[in-house]
């Protein structure tokens, strides 16, 4: 049976919820058996071109964020998923490197929070980049080599820090949101019709080839009228987008380096998951879009910074077996405040091991249940 037909048949079966069946289906299929996965680089079927608000973002502001003019973006929607927008790599040559470096070198620094804080002293997690770069640079192909701290990183939170236990944000656990990432997010949101979007919280997920992201809904933000933005860099993945209930079979799609997804309106509160991380389809160590050099002539006010060759060597080695995803959210509407809570403290905010980010590893299994 062809992969698409097999996936459709699984979605129609009774009993166990349809989403979990398809999650397991794509989790275990070999890479050659993925014909049922939507590929936006060759759109067809339920895919259609999405109209963007070209006038909402000047070409100069797009360039300052490392993006092509909005008029050149290739944006798509999916029948049955109003409010879902897929933007196929709109980044200017070399600009993805900036965001990769930020996710590995800058955003991992304190006061931001990461999973390693749960079992390591603060001084041990203060400079993950500095403690990892030489080990990464020298890393060979052997799986027996000890992992660097960056390779043990699973998530980082920014701005309002998500509490993995209570599944809430709070006013008393907040640190400054990175200004460059806020500017990028504002431009993408405006292009999708959401002018005035405020980047208030971010969850960065760090995946390896044996990682997955469990089935979940992003509903903890108090303002659901604003979109969820998702940026991917490095190796590819399969993303599953479902319905309002887990009984609804999801649609599978590829996400490649540089791709952006926007979930808004009806699609803002849909179940979704990442069952698989895959080698990029070009068959090279890194996708060609990451081999492109950054222009030496950056515009005035650009948030993009040049990476040194030394820094990029470390990033490139990391990405040969990894994928980084940034999800950006607006937590509160304009003028909205958090409800009063008692007994909340900073320590309790990070007490859960890995949230819904999972990894199947012979050395260490972060969660016993594959589907959260």
Q: How far apart are CA 170 and CA 331, in angstroms?
A: 10
Token pair recorded at residue 262? 């926007």
pLDDT per residue, tens digit, the chain (372 aa), is: 444 555 555 555 544 689 999 999 999 866 567 888 999 988 778 999 999 999 999 999 999 999 999 999 999 999 999 999 999 999 999 999 999 999 999 999 999 999 999 999 988 999 999 999 999 988 876 666 788 999 999 999 999 999 988 999 999 999 999 999 999 999 999 999 999 999 999 999 999 999 999 999 999 999 999 999 999 999 999 999 999 999 999 999 999 999 999 999 999 999 999 999 999 999 999 999 999 989 888 999 999 999 899 999 999 999 999 999 999 999 999 999 998 765 544 444 444 444 455 555 433 333 333 333
Q: Are 269 and 236 in contact (CB under 8 A)?
A: no
What is the chain's length?
372
Q: How far apart are CA 284 and CA 288, in angstroms?
A: 8
Positions at the binding site for Fe cation: 216, 218, 272
Element (H, E) at 232: strand 228-234
Q: Are 157 and 112 in contact (CB under 8 A)?
A: yes
Supply the DSSP symbol for 369: -
The domains of the chain are located at 49-139+150-329
* Its pTM surpasses 0.75: yes
Positions at the binding site: 216, 218, 272
Number of Cβ atoms within 10 Å of the Cβ of 177: 18
SS (H, E, C) 308-338: CHHHHHHHHHHHCCEEEEEEEECCCCCCCCC
Backbone angles phi, psi at 218, to 5 degrees: -90, 90
Tell me which CATH code domain 49-139+150-329 carries: 2.60.120.590
Give pLDDT, residue 141: 63
Strand partners for 262: 85, 229
Query: Rounded to the nearest 10 degrees, how much is the dihedral formed by the CA atoms of 257, 228, 154, 286?
Result: 0
């Amino acid at each position: 049976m062809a992969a698409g037909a097999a996936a459709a048949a699984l979605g129609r079966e009774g009993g166990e919820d349809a989403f979990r069946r398809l999650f397991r289906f794509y989790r275990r299929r070999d890479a050659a058996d993925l014909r049922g996965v939507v590929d936006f680089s060759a759109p067809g079927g339920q895919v259609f071109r999405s109209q963007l608000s070209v006038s909402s973002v000047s070409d100069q502001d797009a360039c300052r964020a490392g993006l092509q003019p909005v008029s050149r973006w290739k944006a798509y929607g999916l029948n049955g998923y109003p409010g879902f927008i897929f933007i196929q790599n709109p980044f200017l040559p070399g600009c993805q490197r900036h965001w990769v470096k930020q996710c590995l070198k800058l955003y991992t620094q304190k006061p931001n929070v990461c999973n390693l804080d749960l079992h390591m002293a603060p001084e041990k997690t203060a400079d993950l980049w500095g403690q990892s770069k030489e080990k990464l640079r020298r890393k060979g192909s052997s799986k027996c080599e000890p992992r660097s701290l960056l390779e043990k990183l699973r998530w980082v939170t920014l701005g309002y820090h998500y509490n993995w236990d209570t599944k809430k944000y709070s006013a008393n656990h907040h640190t400054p949101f990175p200004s460059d990432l806020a500017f990028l997010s504002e431009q993408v949101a405006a292009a999708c019709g959401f002018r005035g979007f405020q980047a208030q919280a971010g969850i960065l997920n760090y995946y390896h080839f044996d990682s997955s992201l469990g089935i979940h809904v992003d509903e903890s933000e108090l303002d659901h009228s604003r979109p969820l933005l998702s940026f991917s860099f490095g190796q590819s993945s399969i993303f599953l987008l479902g319905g309002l209930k887990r009984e609804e079979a999801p649609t599978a799609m590829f996400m490649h380096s540089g791709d952006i997804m926007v979930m808004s309106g009806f699609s803002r509160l849909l179940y979704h998951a990442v069952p698989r991380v895959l080698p990029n389809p070009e068959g090279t160590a890194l996708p060609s879009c990451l081999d492109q050099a950054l222009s030496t002539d950056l515009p005035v006010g650009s948030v993009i910074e040049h990476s040194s060759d030394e820094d990029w060597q470390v990033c490139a080695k990391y990405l040969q077996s990894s994928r980084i995803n940034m999800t950006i959210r607006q937590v509160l509407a304009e003028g909205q405040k958090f409800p009063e809570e008692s007994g909340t403290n900073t320590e309790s905010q990070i007490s859960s091991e890995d949230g819904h980010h999972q990894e199947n590893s012979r050395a260490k299994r972060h969660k016993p249940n594959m589907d959260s």
